[in-house]
Amino acid sequence: MDQFDVVIVGASFSGLTLAHHLPQQYKVLVIDSKPSAGSTVESTGLITSKTRQEFLSFFPIDDYITNRISSICVVSPNFQDHFISSLDHPWIYQTDTKG
């Protein structure tokens, strides 16, 4: 490990995003206890508009978007409280996770 400037524990969204954005001159080691990269990423395939923009710079993510969502409702576990957030344009995108 002495030959690396940065060691990141966890090769999921946070760890890989950090590794991607670190200055290129850094020698970076990313380690994870899972058996292979991407093997246990938890996602139902929902991405925000910001993530969609990031993806578009290197991947045709729009080919895999199945639903554009402009309103969400969050309900508390006891069903007593909720809020609805609605915009006049989509900000969450459902992707085809099989793809």
- Which residues form the interface with ligand FAD (CB under 6 A)? 9-15, 31-34, 42-46
Give the nearest distance from C-beta 56 to ligand FAD in angstroms.
17
In angstroms, give the least distance from the CB of 71 to ligand FAD.
17
Output the smallest distance, CB 20 to ligand FAD, in A: 12
- Name the residue nearer to ligand FAD (CB basis): 80 or 99: 99
Residue 54: what are its φ and ψ, rounded to 5°?
-60, -45
Contact 3, 12 (CB under 8 A): no
Of 25 and 42, CB closest to ligand FAD: 42
Least separation in angstroms between residue 22's CB and ligand FAD is 15
From the number of C-beta atoms within 10 Å of its C-beta (0-12, 13-18, 19+), residue 51 rates as: middle
Q: Which is nearer to ligand FAD, 36 or 76 (CB)?
A: 36
Three-state DSSP class for residue 63 = helix
- How many Å apart are CA 91 and CA 65, to the nearest integer? 12
